Structure 1
Amino acid sequence: MSRMWPGVMLGGLMLTCAAVAETPAVEADRYQRLIHELRCLVCQNQSIAESNAPLAQDLREQVATQLAAGRSDDQIRDYLTDRYGDFVLYRPPFRWRTALLWLGPFLLVLVGLAVVWRQGRRVVAAPAPPDADALKRLLEEHRR
């Protein structure tokens, strides 16, 4: 996407940098920490700090605006989760709605271990060697 939107990205980056530059160094550190904690809703595998998507730029500007307004980190996270849902956070809180996100990997490992354990118990018994006396009787009956 960086090739498609160079003017938008550069302009948005300058606005974001200007908003952060007006705040003290502590605010810039908070800004960097927050934008690395928030997921890009378009890219989904990048933080809004790493993403070049226009929505990520908008989210960075919202974070800068919220910081300039004097909001706390929790207030900024709450604002964004109210607007975009828990998916915007890389570490969503443990709630009933997000329980599968937190417990899903453990459940998959448990299911995998159960399958391996069951397969291990399914040992196929080797067929018993034929009874020599029974074979002799069968051959004698067949010859008659």
Structure 2
Amino acid sequence: MYRRGERAIAWSLVTLQMLLLAGLLGLPGGRVWSAPGWLIAVSAGAIAVAAVVAVAGALRLGSGLTASPLPSPGAQLRTAGVYACVRHPIYSALLLGGAAVVVLSGRASRVWVWLALLGLLWLKTRLEERELTARFPGYRTYAAATPRLVPNPLRCWKRPA
């Protein structure tokens, strides 16, 4: 279905993503700031929200779930549930949770890792959306109406037409 070169690029991106996520959690460096209590609470809440969104996105994808930006052969276009709010909820959750981890860590080095993760996930969305557009005739319309990474909460409660 996909050429060997496409698969190699896709899995290289996945590997880099895993390395960046590990860096968010464990990259050493001196603390540059300490978060005040209220920001610790907000960050903990953000991590909880990110976990719920990631699980909801994964469950909605079902057997079509893959870390690769190349959709699996059995993938179906999902536009309901959390996918009504944002096109890439799992990536959004990784970015939200990652930002909260950066705040809690107090380490400037992790800011750079988070920015690299943002760039990488943006690149993965571009590759994934190219494939989704080619495979699903309705994807272009869905993409035009649904934000890529930053959810639109008002859209989440909008009833389908």
TM-score where L is the length of structure 1: 0.32
> RCO higher in 1 or 2 (8 Å CA, sep ≥ 6)?
2
Select the structure of larger CA radius of gyration: 1
